[in-house]
With several copies, the nearest count.
Chain A
Amino acid sequence: MLHTINKSPFENNTFTTCVRFLQPGDPVLFIEDGVYAVQAGNRFGALIQSVLKKNNPVYALKPDLDARGISAIAEGVKTVDYAGFVDLVEEHQVSSWL
Chain B
Amino acid sequence: MNIGILLKEGPYNHQAADTAFKFAEAAIAKGHKVDAIFLYNDGVINATRLGDPPQDDRNIAARWTELSLKHGVEVLACIAASKRRGINDEVMIEGGEITGLGTLTDIAIRNDRLLTFGD
Contacts and interface: CB of A to CB of B under 8 A. Distances in A.
Are any A and B Cβ atoms less than 8 Å apart in their complex? yes
Interface residues of B, number: 21
Describe B's contact surface by its main secondary structure. mixed
A33 B9 CA distance: 15
A94 B118 contact: no
B71 interface: no
Contacts of A82: 22-23, 25-26
B115 interface: yes
Contacts, number: 45
Interface of A: 6, 31-33, 63, 81-83, 85-86, 89-90, 93-94, 96, 98
A83 B3 contact: no
A6 B115 CA distance: 13
A89 B113 contact: yes
Given A32-B16, A98-B118, 6 more contacts: A6-B15, A82-B26, A89-B27, A90-B32, A94-B113, A96-B116
A82 B115 CA distance: 14
16 contacts: A6-B16, A32-B16, A83-B26, A83-B30, A86-B23, A86-B27, A86-B30, A86-B32, A89-B1, A93-B113, A94-B113, A94-B116, A96-B115, A96-B117, A96-B118, A98-B8
